[in-house]
Each structure stands twice: as C-alpha cells, then as structure tokens.
C-alpha cells in the first residue's frame, strides 16, 4: 500500500495522469480485499490532508473512503458517505482550479473520473428508500457537474445534467417540481446549452427551472426562493439577448 501511495504521488508530480489513476484503482482494490480501517476514519484522514493543503493525498483517502462506504452493510450510510466524498472532491477541484488552469487536466482526467466512479456506486446502491436515495443522487450529480463547470467542459456537463434530470424525473414524475435543487440542475443545463450556443434548448431549460423555482416547497427561506426566481429570469433574459445577437450575424 505504501509503495503504491508514493508511486501515486510521484505520478501526479510528473503529471502522469494515467499511472496516477491506475495506482488509485489498485489501492481501491487492495482496500476491498484487505479491510483494516473504516470509511469514517479514512474520510477523516482525507479531511486532515485537506485542511493541511495536501490535496492529492486528500483525493486518495476520499477515494478509498468511498470504496469502503460501498462495502457498508447499511446502504443508507453508503449513500450518505458517497455524497460526502464527492462533495469533498468537488471542494478540492475548486481549490485546484483557483490555483491555475494548469490543474485542469488533473481535475478532468483524474479527480472527475473518480467522482464519476463514486456516482456509479451511488446509483447502483439498492435497499434504500427511493426518494431519499434520489435526493442524495441529485447532490452527487450536482457536485460532479459543478466540477465540470469549473474546467468549462460543457459537453461532459451537459451529459451529467441530462442523466441527473432523467433519473429524477423517472422516480418522481411531476413531483421534482417541489425540489429546489432540481430547479438548479435545470438552470445549470440551460446555462450549459447557452455556452454551447444552443440557445433554443437553453431557453427551454431556463423556463423549466423557473417553473420549479415557483412551485418548490423546500427552500430554507422565502428570500432564497425569490432570489432563485430573480436569477432565473436574468438568465433567461440574457440568453434571449444572446440568441437575438447570434441571429443578426
């Protein structure tokens, strides 16, 4: 394990993303076959590395924690653990992105790939209340798509958001209109389509997000709901202006 860990760090130092990713998968398999820790303690080690600004080490331990959460007998605890690990990896991506665009390949080809793997674990987990699991999945998808937004990977973000919206609509039917986060995902998809210059699709999703913001019953405060509606209308107006400008060219 220690040799793999040092090899992982060396690969990252030399921006050898393929070998670094391979090391992480080997470590994940080793942990699965050799359980000598808990997901909570491993996640705590990741947090300790994070607060000490050792982001690559933190990434490693959050990934190991996710593999351990996947082995938990309590599927609800697994889903909660997946959500926490992906949230933490997204925070790492935010900091890496702030430290310079040169980190974009590491985010895209390394951290985001691990986040997608955890997303798959979460979606595959059974034995959890369907609505609870769906809400947790929404947050997992949100953290993934936000990391894709950081590096301006619009096509990947479109695919992630589309998958999230399809999954939640399949489970809730019309009920997602009560969930504020569902409105956010629709809004983010509208913004992504605008960045891809697909303005008709962008306008459609901005309008759908406004419908959700108006009917959602889970905002923490009325002010929060009002701000979403105002921001959504601004996004819609901005996109309609961009469409008119593009058509005049």
| Residues 23-59: tens digit of each pLDDT | 766 766 665 555 456 788 889 888 988 999 989 889 9
Distance CA 44, CA 220 (A): 29
Is 75 found in the same domain as 120? yes
Is 140 found in the same domain as 21? yes
CA neighbours within 13 Å on the CB side: how many for 150?
28
DSSP strand E in 103-213: where? none
Q: What is the CATH number of the domain that holds 186?
A: 1.20.58
**Residue finishing a domain among 149, 171, 193:** 171
The one-character DSSP state at 176 is G
Tokens 């709901």 label which residue? 225
Contact 183, 209 (CB under 8 A): yes
pTM of the model: 0.84
Q: Which residues constitute the domain of residue 132?
A: 1-171
Is 162 found in the same domain as 72? yes
Is 196 found in the same domain as 104? no
Is 162 found in the same domain as 185? no
Contact 60, 8 (CB under 8 A): yes
The count of structural domains within the chain is 2
Distance CA 219, CA 225 (A): 6
User: What residue ranges of the chain have pLDDT lower than 50?
Assistant: 35
Predicted local distance difference test score (pLDDT) of residue 35: 47
Is 201 found in the same domain as 112? no
Predicted local distance difference test score (pLDDT) of residue 231: 93
The one-character DSSP state at 14 is T
Distance CA 12, CA 14 (A): 5
Is 144 found in the same domain as 178? no
Is 152 found in the same domain as 42? yes
């Amino acid at each position: 394990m220690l040799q793999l860990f040092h090899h992982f760090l060396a690969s990252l130092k030399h921006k050898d993303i393929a070998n670094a990713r391979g090391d992480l998968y080997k470590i994940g398999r080793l942990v699965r076959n050799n359980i000598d820790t808990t997901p909570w303690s491993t996640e705590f080690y990741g947090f300790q590395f994070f607060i000490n600004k050792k982001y690559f080490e933190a990434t490693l331990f959050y990934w190991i924690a996710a593999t351990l959460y996947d082995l938990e007998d309590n599927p609800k605890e697994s889903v909660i653990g997946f959500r926490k690990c992906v949230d933490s990896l997204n925070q790492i991506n935010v900091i890496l992105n702030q430290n310079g665009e040169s980190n974009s390949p590491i985010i895209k080809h390394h951290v985001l790939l691990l986040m997608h793997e955890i997303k798959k674990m979460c979606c595959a987990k059974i034995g959890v209340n369907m609505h609870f699991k769906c809400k947790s999945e929404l947050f997992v998808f949100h953290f993934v798509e936000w990391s894709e937004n950081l590096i301006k990977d619009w096509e990947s973000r479109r695919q992630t958001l589309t998958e999230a919206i399809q999954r939640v609509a399949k489970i809730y039917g019309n009920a997602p209109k009560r969930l504020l986060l569902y409105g956010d995902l629709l809004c983010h998809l509208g913004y992504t389509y605008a960045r891809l210059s697909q303005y008709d699709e962008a306008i459609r999703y901005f309008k759908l997000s406004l419908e959700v913001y108006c009917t959602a019953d889970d905002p923490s405060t009325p002010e929060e709901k009002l701000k979403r509606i105002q921001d959504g209308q601004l996004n819609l107006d901005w996109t309609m202006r961009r469409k008119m400008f593009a058509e005049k060219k």
